[in-house]
């Protein structure tokens, strides 16, 4: 048994990121840099929603270390917008024009998402202690005189060379765990229910996250999971004997855990590949489009329904029941928070509740962010309807394999051809018109 102690690790990650500060966002590959900015992200890549965006949240402009302070306005002052909001327009209405401005725009979206939907990520605790015992990692956390712990289990690959890339599964892995192992990728099961329970409304504020962050009453379960994955990565960075490469980490999950996987990828910059599976509303679907589907007669999950179902979101999110169009963002921008890192959205057209049209429209709008950054191949979307919810029959294995090979394992040295852009669907979208939802243009950043 080996034990390592971790205090605040932001300075360590900042040093790693500093080596990349001279490159543009579009030139970087995920296996070259741990963070998309020069500010560091080892504290969970978030920070409070109403702080300087570049302070400890991996959101400042490359090399600058800070962004302008942005405080999201009150609910009462938000104007309704039936369209999907422009991801390139700052709250002051000015559109970004260069890739160097994307990190600060990203910070504004993060602040909005934490303020209105997810609740705040409190950042790094006072200390994290990782203990390795065989294939189990125990993560002990101390903060403000309080303590808690959780354990995550590693399944090592059957091929490849250590240290291995790894896919972190939120509650499990439903995209072919054995296939990943056979590709040389380790799999790590993250016990999200231990960090924040999600049985029903009675689960609010219960779990290891709240044990050491007692003031985080506004933080929903998904943001608590993202915080917990950050602590797991903190421990992995201090446990070289675990034989896991902390610069080559992916995250996945299915259904409610797929929603969580997207939030983890959006808020933790050390994740280089995010694969939310069948996440539907609160994940890959748009709140606005889902509402429109219900009006048109298709019963899908909406914002008004989901806020009463479970504790995935901040309790304040219910203010948007029946007023989703007042949100200054939608989930195309939550997906976009992953950029310039890699994202593959896996959806299932056989599950009407997930919102086939909603996930399609949302992800097509999100893809424009990667297009603007000049890296469209790093964001893909796949829908198939030949299986039950979270069942893996392999019909989308080619898409998963391509993204894992190119962005988690890494292409062969010298291979600069990343032709992995996937925009595949077997859905039929009668009458879908992009202009119904998108009234903004895609810039070249």
pLDDT digits (tens, 9 = 90+) for 87-121: 999 999 999 999 999 999 999 999 999 999 999 99
79-91: average pLDDT: 97
- Residues annotated catalytic, as ranges: 255, 389
Residue 19 scores a pLDDT above 80: no
Kindly report, residue by residue over 257-283, the tens digit of the pLDDT. 999 999 999 999 999 999 999 999 999
Q: Which residue has the tokens 């479970």?
A: 310
Tell me the CATH architecture of domain 153-436.
Answer: 3-Layer(aba) Sandwich (3.40)
Higher-confidence residue: 176 or 65? Answer: 176
306-317: average pLDDT: 95
Give residue 37's pLDDT band: very low, low, confident or very high (50, 70, 90). Answer: very low
Domain ranges of the chain: 153-436
Whether the model pTM is above 0.75: yes
Residue 9 scores a pLDDT above 50: no
Kindly report, residue by residue over 382-434, the tens digit of the pLDDT. 988 888 999 999 889 989 998 999 999 987 555 444 445 566 666 656 556 88
Cβ neighbours for 77, distance < 8 A, ≥ 6 positions apart: none
CA dist 248 and 140 (Å) reads 23
Give residue 286's pLDDT band: very low, low, confident or very high (50, 70, 90). Answer: very high
pLDDT on residue 412: 59
pLDDT on residue 232: 98
161-180: average pLDDT: 96
Q: How many CB atoms lie within 10 A of CB 31?
A: 16
pLDDT on residue 413: 53
Q: Are 290 and 361 in contact (CB under 8 A)?
A: no
For the chain, what is the mean pLDDT? 84
Kindly report, residue by residue over 184-223, the tens digit of the pLDDT. 999 999 999 999 999 888 889 899 999 999 999 999 999 9
CA dist 138 and 235 (Å) reads 8
Buried b / exposed e over 268-300, threshold 16 CB at 10 Å, is bbbbbbbbbbbbbbbbbbbbbbbbbbbeeeeeb
Residue 47 scores a pLDDT above 80: no
């Amino acid at each position: 048994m080996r034990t390592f102690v971790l205090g605040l690790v932001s300075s360590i990650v900042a040093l790693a990121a500093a080596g990349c500060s001279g490159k543009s966002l579009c030139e970087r590959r995920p296996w070259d840099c741990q963070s998309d900015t020069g500010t560091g992200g080892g504290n969970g890549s978030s920070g409070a929603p109403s702080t300087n965006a570049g302070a400890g949240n991996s959101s400042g402009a490359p090399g600058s270390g800070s962004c302008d302070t942005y405080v999201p306005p009150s609910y009462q002052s938000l104007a309704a917008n039936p369209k999907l909001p422009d991801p390139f327009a700052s709250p002051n209405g000015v559109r970004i024009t260069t890739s160097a401005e994307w990190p600060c725009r990203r910070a504004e979206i993060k602040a909005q998402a934490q303020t209105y939907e997810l609740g705040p990520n409190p950042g790094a605790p006072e200390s994290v202690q990782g203990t390795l015992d065989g294939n189990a990692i125990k993560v002990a956390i101390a903060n403000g005189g309080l303590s808690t712990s959780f354990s995550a289990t590693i399944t090592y690959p059957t091929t490849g060379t250590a240290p291995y890339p790894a896919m972190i599964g939120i509650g499990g892995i439903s995209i072919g765990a054995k296939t990943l192992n056979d590709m040389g990728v380790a799999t790590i099961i993250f016990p999200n229910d231990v960090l924040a329970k999600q049985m029903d409304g009675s689960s609010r504020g219960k779990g290891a996250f709240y044990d050491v962050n007692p003031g985080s009453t506004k933080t929903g379960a998904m943001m608590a999971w993202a915080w917990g994955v950050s602590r797991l990565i903190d421990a992995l960075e201090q446990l070289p004997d675990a034989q896991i490469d902390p610069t080559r980490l992916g995250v996945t999950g299915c259904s409610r855990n797929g929603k969580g996987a997207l939030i983890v990828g959006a808020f933790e910059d050390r994740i280089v590949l995010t694969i939310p599976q069948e996440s539907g509303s609160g994940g890959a679907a748009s709140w606005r489009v889902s509402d429109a589907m219900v009006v048109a007669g298709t019963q899908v999950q909406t914002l008004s329904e989901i806020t009463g179902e479970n504790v995935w979101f901040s309790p304040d999110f219910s203010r948007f029941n029946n007023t989703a169009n007042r949100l200054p963002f939608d989930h195309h921008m939550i997906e976009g928070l992953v950029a310039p890192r890699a994202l593959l959205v896996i959806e299932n057209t056989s599950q009407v509740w997930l919102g086939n049209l909603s996930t399609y429209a949302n992800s097509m709008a999100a893809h424009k962010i990667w297009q603007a950054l000049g890296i469209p191949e790093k964001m893909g979307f796949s829908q198939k309807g030949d299986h039950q919810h979270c069942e893996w029959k392999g019909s989308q294995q080619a898409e998963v394999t391509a993204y894992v090979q190119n962005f988690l394992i890494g292409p062969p040295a010298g291979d600069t051809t990343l032709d992995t852009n996937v925009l595949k669907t077997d859905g039929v979208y009668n009458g879908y018109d992009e202009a119904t939802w998108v009234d903004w243009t895609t810039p070249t950043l």
